[in-house]
Structure 1
Amino acid sequence: MKTLTNLFNQFDRLDTSINRWLVAHSIALLRIGMGIVFFGFGILKF
């Protein structure tokens, strides 16, 4: 049972760190993604 608790704690720490990273960088990633989409459609229109 201790191993299962340890595994859960490791997963919780990983989930928390991923969540913090996404909160800090999600707007920048959204801007880059939207720029790529607009650029791609602009190339198709050209």
Structure 2
Amino acid sequence: MISKRRFSLPRLDITGMWVFSLGVWFHIVARLVYSKPWMAFFLAEL
């Protein structure tokens, strides 16, 4: 992540990290909901 700083602003790196982490989170949640529908209610409670 530090090597990316030469060709992009640190703020864009932080924003990219947030978008990437949110994308991974929603992808995992979507897979859990698809395989185990009851997990959706459990995750929604969190």
Scaled by the length of structure 1, the TM-score of the pair is 0.56
Give 5+ residue unaligned stretches, structure 2.
1-7
Structure 1 or 2, whichever has the larger Rg, is 1
More helix by share: 1
The RMSD of aligned alpha carbons is: 2.2
User: How many residues end up aligned between the 2 structures?
Assistant: 32
Give 5+ residue unaligned stretches, structure 1.
34-46
Q: Which runs of 4+ in 1 moved over 3 A?
A: none
Scaled by the length of structure 2, the TM-score of the pair is 0.56
| Greater RCO, 1 or 2 (C-alpha within 8 Å, sep 6+) | 2
